[in-house]
């Protein structure tokens, strides 16, 4: 696939794809090997280098912000995108398990819906980022 200017624009293309292109040092006019790209995606090798805006809930998926904060990551740290997806799925299952549910229960039909789940993740991230205190006694 011949890369065009629009492929590097996060307003036109998914931001993770733009980061992949940057990670591979590709530029407009280069040819992207789609088979290699698909192999990289399946191999979970797509990562992004965190920038300041990744920590802003207004600019980025708040769940992602809570994930990187829970790990104590900072700008210029790298993160594997697929690991966020696994974390979010695990946290969703953990959250749902606190309520009476069946196989068809989703976060959206639980009390408080996605807003309550977001607060659950925010609380988790805040507590994960706190340094452990050592007891002298």
Enter the pTM of the model. 0.65
Query: Does residue 122 sit in helix, strand or coil?
Result: helix
| Structural domain for 113, as ranges | 50-130
Residue 136 lies in a domain: no
Long-range (24+ apart) CB contacts under 8 A made by 43-48 are 44/80, 44/82, 44/83, 45/80, 46/16, 46/19, 46/20, 46/80, 46/81, 46/82, 47/19, 47/23, 47/78, 47/79, 47/80, 47/81, 48/15, 48/16, 48/19, 48/23, 48/78, 48/79, 48/81
* Domains identified in the chain, total number: 2
* 117 and 54 within one domain: yes
pLDDT value of position 12 = 72
Q: What is the full per-residue pLDDT of the chain (137 aa) written as tens digits?
A: 888 888 887 777 766 777 778 878 888 999 988 888 777 776 666 777 788 999 999 988 899 999 999 999 999 888 887 788 889 999 999 999 999 988 888 899 999 999 999 999 999 999 886 554 444 44
pLDDT value of position 42 = 67
* 55 and 119 within one domain: yes
pLDDT value of position 85 = 83
* 58 and 37 within one domain: no
* 119 and 77 within one domain: yes
Residue 135 lies in a domain: no
* 119 and 58 within one domain: yes
* 118 and 78 within one domain: yes
pLDDT value of position 134 = 42
* 84 and 23 within one domain: no
């Amino acid at each position: 696939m011949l890369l065009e200017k629009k492929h590097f624009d996060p307003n036109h293309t998914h931001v993770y794809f733009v980061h992949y292109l940057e990670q591979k040092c590709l530029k407009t006019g280069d040819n992207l090997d789609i088979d290699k790209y698909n192999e990289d995606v399946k191999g979970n090798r797509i990562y992004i280098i965190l920038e300041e805006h990744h920590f802003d809930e207004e600019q980025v998926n708040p769940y992602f912000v809570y994930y990187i904060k829970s790990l104590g990551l900072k700008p210029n740290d790298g993160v594997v995108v697929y690991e966020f997806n696994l974390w979010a799925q695990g946290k969703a299952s953990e959250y749902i398990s606190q309520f009476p549910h069946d196989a068809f229960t989703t976060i959206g039909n639980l009390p408080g819906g996605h807003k309550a789940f977001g607060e659950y993740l925010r609380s988790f991230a805040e507590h994960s980022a706190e340094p452990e205190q050592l007891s002298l006694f």
